[in-house]
């Protein structure tokens, strides 16, 4: 069955595979919805977006993404409220950021109308995959790869923009322990740290595996020059609570401008919690922990939402965080999810409804 819309060609799946999925036991990123979108960049322009049944695609071994890593991606979520309405959370920020990432990797900008019409068409088709209820969401992965065939070291002249989706629950189902980086770096000045480039994540797997072998779940990266300042974790931006103040590093060309991060900053301010956005010295955090002033560390991200940190280690010093009667991490998670599930007034106009 094929239909034609104004800008998108749609081919629907013959039979949904939704009945094969156990929505009560979801492993993150293992089950994919019925449809996906792709759009090719050929001869200097983006072609008509295609929505087709989710499935494999064929690429030549010489496809440039395999050789020179021109690939960027985004992470987004759709939520369903108690009335059965589906909403995206701050998609405008993801649209702007994927094009910012693309620019840094010499990938052509994707048109805004293609992005939003594709998203909305995809979510209307697969709205049953967006389950209501606390913790449930549909994770959305837009990405773009270089598709020109050839191994010459030069930017590709062809690209494919895609969107795939998968039902999800919590990325971290338990609190995490972290290691402060002393040797390895995630990014450097003038690099691609602020972009969601695929290579940023591939390069951090090895040092993260070292941390895991020592009993830690994640690395909090430090600056590449001195390793004296804490910046972000492998899959999250990081917040520290010293006393009753939240502290987080400023964004830069090394640190990802996280959508959840900026939402938490705004929600904290909206609720009378002081936020300091400033460089975060390793020694400041260690000294605060020794003095009993470090109350919480938590990570923020689209997949993670809010992830509590129970302890950290640096230079052989280990610290366990106290259990707080009132946890800012839980408050921020509640404030955030109440908006995402449309349970409270959306005063900041962050929700983007998907009309059936």
**Which residue spans of the chain are classified as CATH 3.20.10.10?**
176-337
Q: Is the pLDDT of residue 81 over 70?
A: yes
CATH 3.30.470.10 residue window(s) in the chain? 2-168
Contact status, residue 75 vs residue 141, Cβ threshold 8 Å = yes
- pLDDT of 52-68, one tens digit each? 999 999 999 999 999 99
At 341 the pLDDT is: 97
Per-residue pLDDT at 82? 95
State the pTM of this model: 0.95
**Length in residues, the chain:** 356
Helix (H) or strand (E) run with residue 285 in it? helix 282-290
Distance CA 101, CA 18 (A): 33
Helix (H) or strand (E) holding 201: helix 198-202
Tell me which architecture the domain covering 176-337 has in CATH: Alpha-Beta Barrel (3.20)
**Does pLDDT of 277 surpass 60?**
yes
The predicted pLDDT at position 6 comes to: 57
The CA-CA-CA angle for residues 136, 137, 143, to 5°, reads 150
Domain 2-168 has CATH 1.10.1660.10: no
pLDDT reading at 280 higher than 80: yes
Kind of pairing between the strands at 237-242 and 294-301: antiparallel
Residue 30, pLDDT > 50, answer yes
pLDDT tens digit string along 168-199? 987 666 889 999 999 999 999 999 999 999 99
Mean pLDDT, all residues of the chain? 95
């Amino acid at each position: 069955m094929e239909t034609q819309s104004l800008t998108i060609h749609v081919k629907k799946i013959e039979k949904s595979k939704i009945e094969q999925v156990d929505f009560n036991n979801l492993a993150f990123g293992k089950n994919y919805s019925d449809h996906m979108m792709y759009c090719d960049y050929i001869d200097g322009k983006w072609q008509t977006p295609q929505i087709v049944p989710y499935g494999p695609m064929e690429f030549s071994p010489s496809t440039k993404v395999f050789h020179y890593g021109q690939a960027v991606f985004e992470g987004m979520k759709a939520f369903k409220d108690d009335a059965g309405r589906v909403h995206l959370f701050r998609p405008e920020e993801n649209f702007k950021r994927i094009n910012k990432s693309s620019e840094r990797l010499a990938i052509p900008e994707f048109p805004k109308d293609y992005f939003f019409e594709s998203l909305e068409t995809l979510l209307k088709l697969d709205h049953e995959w967006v389950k209501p209820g606390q913790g449930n969401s549909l994770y959305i992965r837009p990405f773009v790869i270089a598709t020109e065939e050839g191994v010459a070291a030069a930017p590709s002249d062809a690209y494919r923009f895609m969107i795939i989706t998968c039902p999800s629950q919590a990325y971290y189902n338990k609190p995490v322990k972290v290691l402060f980086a002393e040797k390895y770096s995630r990014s450097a000045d003038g690099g691609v740290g602020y972009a969601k480039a695929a290579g940023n994540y591939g390069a951090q797997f090895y040092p993260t595996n070292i941390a895991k072998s020592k009993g830690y779940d994640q690395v909090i990266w430090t600056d590449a020059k001195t390793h004296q300042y804490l910046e972000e974790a492998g899959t999250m931006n990081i917040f520290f609570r010293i006393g009753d103040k939240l502290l987080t590093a400023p964004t830069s060309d090394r640190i990802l401008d996280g959508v959840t991060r900026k939402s938490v900053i705004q929600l904290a301010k909206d609720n009378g919690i002081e936020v300091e956005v400033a460089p975060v010295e390793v020694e400041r955090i260690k000294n605060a922990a020794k003095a009993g002033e470090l109350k919480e560390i938590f990570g923020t991200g689209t997949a993670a939402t809010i992830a509590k940190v129970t302890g950290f280690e640096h230079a052989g010093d280990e610290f366990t965080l106290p259990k707080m009667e009132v946890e800012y991490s839980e408050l921020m998670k509640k404030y955030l999810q109440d908006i995402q599930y449309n349970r409270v007034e959306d005063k900041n106009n962050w929700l983007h409804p998907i009309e059936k």
